[in-house]
Structure 1
Amino acid sequence: MPPRLGPRGTENEDFLTRVTGQKWSRNHYFVFFHTFFSFAMIHATRKTLATVKPSIIHTWTSNSTGPPFMESEEHATRFLGLLDTSFMITYAMGLFISGTLGDHYNPRKMLSIGMACSAFSVFCFGFLTETYHIYSAPLYVFLWILNGFSQSVGWPIEVAIMGNWFGKNARGTVMGVWSACGSVGNIIGTLIASHVLGFGYQYPFLIICSLLFSYSIIVYFQLPSAPWDLDSGSHHESDAKEKLELNRPPPLGFFRTWLIPGVISFSLAFACLKFVNDGFFFWLPYYLHDGLNWPETFADALSTWYDVGGIIASIVAGAASDRMKSRTSLIFYMLLASFVSLYVYSQSPASYTWNAFLLLLAGFFVGGPLNMISSSVVADLGKSDKLKGNAEALATVTGIIDGTGSCGSAVGQFMIPNIQHWYGWNAVFYGFMAMMACTTLCIAPVLRKERRKQQRMKYRENKALLNSDSDSTDSEDGVFLSNKTTRRKHHGTPQSTFI
């Protein structure tokens, strides 16, 4: 079972208390660490396919045991695009479902089952089919669709678990750091693949799915989904736990959750943003290999700089947003900067140093807003004051926003290989910039509304300050006003006239 609450007052806890405004127990460390790396393992399994695409294409087009599975490299590339699209469509559908279920059923059990099913499908897809030379397009599609549906359980439930443990004061900083788990998983998957790819593309799949399955066991037996899931050591604590569970607010429901202010706008913005981010996720190693003619293992290692930029942005922007009046304004300005970073990267020279630096900038301004919306913003919306404590909606909000984003990503994975084939890689980057423009337009109404709200609040504060000054002046002149009123009454003047 997870470690019990430990004594407070250690140096680390004091530091984190000052930074996040929330006291950390041993359980907070435990939940943060294991949710972080469990989702990192989920993301690593997705990244593996993107990393080994050149090897898969080579194997499918030059099968030594019989006729080639694919007629040409073009057919293999388009089929991989179809797999990515199928994955994202199923993943999006699963997010809408699992997000709602996460607010109704035990999150820990759902998460562990989803991770185990994903590990099984990845093992069959990448390892068994290549080891036993089973090349079947319907089988590949079925296994990758199963993987997409299984992995859809991960993000909304992980965010809901984090939201249960960490309060509003710590949300930007903690969720900003935690949301880097996807980028860390991408780096883990890429590094594993680049080191063992020489033995065959099936071995990266074997290692990653083994790690994912191991983590599913840890999650099932040890991860507490909320403070009230902890085992109680006494009858009094058991009664308190039962009372806390009974007092939990009921789930809001899928359709009513769409009506929470900001959910629709951020969902549409996330769809456009995920189009771009997942374009880098699925196709960056292939672009570096095919477009810039770098060796596959070299291209895999270089692509990690995009994820490094996303990690840095998650930490910096998350901490900064806690000290700002609006997270939306910070996201908006980062999106504006992303136009420049994408255009400059599209013109980058074939230099490792320059390419790594420009990838870092692109990851910062594209991956940063994506991580903030998918973690801190959805936590704000799911725990919104508009709910007035009468409903739980965090997992549902996460499923809606991430599910809508995955729909946009599915469209992108279908379009990118076709655009690249007909118009070249420069057209792909111009398409990315157009989608970033759509993201900015979707967020603009939310930002405008927030600024109007801030102006109204500032007006009320100034008015209250003036009223307090006026009351102070009236109290100082109270004797004079009282005498003057008395004299006017004596002469027959109505009091209302004086007022």
Structure 2
Amino acid sequence: MGGPRGGRCAQNFRDVWNTYTYYHLSVFFFTFMSYALFHATRKTFSNVKSLLEDEWTPSNHSRYDGLYPPEVWDDHNFFPNEDKTEIYLGNLDTTFLFCYAVGLYISGFLGDRYNLRYVLCSGMMLSAIMVFTFGCVGKWAGVYSVYYYGVLWGLNGLLQSAGWPTTVAIMGNWFGKGSHGVIFGVWSANASVGNIIGAFLAASVLHYGYQYAFLVTSVPLFLAGIVMFFTIVEHPKCVGLSSPDGKDNLTINVKANLVDDNDQREVTPLLKPTSDPDIPTSPDHSVMVYSTKQQTQNRVVHFFKAFCIPGVAVYALSYACLKLVNYSFFFWLPYYLNKAYPSWATPTEAALLSTLYDVGGIIGGIVGGIISDLVGRRCPIVVTMLLSAMGFLFVYQAYGDTPTKNAILMAMAGVFVGGPANLISSAISADLGKQPALKGDSEALSTVTGIIDGTGSVGAAIGQTIIPIINIKTNGWEWVFYFLMGMLFCSALFLSELFYRDIRSLGGVLCNRLRSYSTRSKHQ
């Protein structure tokens, strides 16, 4: 640990850390909290599912005897039995995720073409309005219509899609690729932290009525959107700082502008030396920046070109399977606990207990990010965690029949399912959006992130329709877990080629180091 390699790693860490400013800290904090609050509003719906089922099914209001007259519940029912209600709740999840997936493609496109701050803050405030209208206005105004809830929840999914591509793009603008594993491993805990915040806020007011759970999560999201509008700085160049990877957008624009000889150019040296042979330099090897009328506009990467960037397609397909599993826990875990173990998991207790899955996801994302930075490859870490997750899901469904065992196994499942999900959706997406394959084009962080997360949301949407059907047809949750394990295997399978390539590469590096060590030993 104290050898030359350890010293170089420590020195590199200190060098990276010394480049961080107040702006880096504020960007990290504000983007973290903005997406956490997005997730808090989503988590609310999963926490109140059992209450909605009780209200929307006339035969299932015994839990509320003494609070409301039976005729109140009978007047508000939508469906004749619990099975129909459960399928509708699954369809609401599917509607949300399909609209969310479509919105991700759109938001990624917009994020690389318009001000990221405007896109993000608009999505936050409008989404908060949709959540408030869905949960509070519908209840207080006595609006009981399946179409009302379906349309509003779909619009909410469309608006919430503004969150992830824009926040990842802003973070990628401020933090260099060499620190993506550690920084994004910690930062990607925002979704899990948001789930925990949403669960605790909802649990604190559920005894007053499910509508208040939507109220206490939508209001902070709206207020945060206003704060973000006046505080977030989307790019270092906005405050006169250089890009984290050492290439300003002006440097990238040199290559793009050289193709047009009709522009009037003023040549000014950039004080930072460069070794890139494709960029013209002055005699002292400073970059020669040509200022043109188009200098302030980056060349954007179009959707299909971004999809063809090496690694994007396979990670998108892998994430489609993985996000199906992760969001199945997100949407159904409190409901599953309440229905499978009603003796010790009331709606409030189930909401609180489900937060342990998110705690595991936080740990998995951070540890996976650190290890992947040390190894220098992310795919082997992701695949190893996915295969381990299959075993933990099997053990969880078989032996999670007591609160203590359920809590421990749930947290472990969160580590190995939520961990790789956080890595793919944040650090890996940022890596892919800033890789050398883009060459003379501008970075495609927002577009690539939208493609990967959008494809993942399509897979997750399909899964939320399938899960209640499997549960009803098999009269139990055992086959649901088998289905989820199969999806984890498919997720790992899509990455098998990259996994094999990275393992061979790591093997070659290890052999070279052993050979070098052996040579030094002989000379000594």
Q: Quick check: TM above 0.5?
A: yes
**Residue matched to 1:439:** 491
In the alignment, is the contact (CA less than 8 A) between 2:94 and 2:464 conserved in 1?
Answer: yes
Which residue identity does 2:197 align to in structure 1? I
**Residue matched to 1:55:** 51
Segments of structure 2 that go 5 or more residues without pairing to the other structure are 1-9, 59-70, 242-267, 271-289, 519-524
**Residue matched to 1:179:** 188
Q: CA deviation at 1:450?
A: 2.8
In the alignment, is the contact (CA less than 8 A) between 1:20 and 1:174 conserved in 2?
Answer: no
Distance in 2 separating the partners of 1:463 and 1:341: 39
| Residues 246 and 460 of structure 1, relative CA distance in 2, 3 Å threshold | farther
**Residue matched to 1:79:** 88
**Residue matched to 1:291:** 340
**Residue matched to 2:325:** 276
**Residue matched to 1:368:** 419
Segments of structure 1 that go 5 or more residues without pairing to the other structure are 1-13, 233-238, 467-499
| Candidates 354, 363, 379, aligned match of 1:328 | 379
| Residues 319 and 389 of structure 1, relative CA distance in 2, 3 Å threshold | farther
**Residue matched to 1:26:** 22
**Residue matched to 1:340:** 391
Q: CA deviation at 1:61?
A: 2.0
Which residue identity does 2:380 align to in structure 1? S
**Residue matched to 2:480:** 428
Aligned CA RMSD, in angstroms, stands at 2.8
| Residues 320 and 311 of structure 1, relative CA distance in 2, 3 Å threshold | same
Q: Per the alignment, in what secondary structure is the counterpart of residue 142 of structure 2?
A: coil
Q: Rg bigger for which structure?
A: 1
Q: Per the alignment, in what secondary structure is the counterpart of residue 496 of structure 2?
A: helix
| Candidates 247, 257, 278, aligned match of 2:306 | 257
Distance in 2 separating the partners of 1:243 and 1:304: 52
**Residue matched to 1:64:** 72
| Candidates 36, 40, 43, aligned match of 1:40 | 36
Task: Report matched runs for 1:193-208 at 5 Å.
Answer: 193-208=202-217
**Residue matched to 2:407:** 356
Q: 56-65 or 107-116: which moved more? A: 56-65
**Residue matched to 1:471:** none
Say how many residue pairs are matched. 449
In the alignment, is the contact (CA less than 8 A) between 2:433 and 2:448 conserved in 1?
Answer: yes
| Candidates 174, 179, 185, aligned match of 1:170 | 179
**Residue matched to 2:63:** none
| Candidates 165, 168, 177, aligned match of 1:159 | 168
**Residue matched to 2:219:** 210
**Residue matched to 1:96:** 105
| Residues 243 and 302 of structure 1, relative CA distance in 2, 3 Å threshold | farther
Q: CA deviation at 1:247?
A: 6.1
Distance in 1 separating the partners of 2:367 and 2:332: 27
In the alignment, is the contact (CA less than 8 A) between 1:22 and 1:169 conserved in 2?
Answer: no
Q: CA deviation at 1:459?
A: 8.5
Which residue identity does 1:421 align to in structure 2? I
In the alignment, is the contact (CA less than 8 A) between 2:56 and 2:76 conserved in 1?
Answer: no
Q: Per the alignment, in what secondary structure is the counterpart of residue 191 of structure 1?
A: helix
Of Structure 1 and Structure 2, which has the larger fraction of its residues in helix? 1
**Residue matched to 2:432:** 381
Q: Report the TM-score when normalising by structure 1.
A: 0.85
Q: Report the TM-score when normalising by structure 2.
A: 0.81
What do residues 129-173 of structure 1 show as CA deviations (whole Å, max 9, x unaligned)? 011211011111110010000001110110000000000121110
Q: CA deviation at 1:349?
A: 3.7
Distance in 2 separating the partners of 1:20 and 1:309: 28
Q: Per the alignment, in what secondary structure is the counterpart of residue 246 of structure 1?
A: coil
In the alignment, is the contact (CA less than 8 A) between 2:101 and 2:458 conserved in 1?
Answer: yes
**Residue matched to 2:198:** 189
Q: CA deviation at 1:336?
A: 1.4
Identical aligned pairs, as a percentage?
A: 45
Task: Report matched runs for 1:434-473 at 5 Å.
Answer: 434-454=486-506
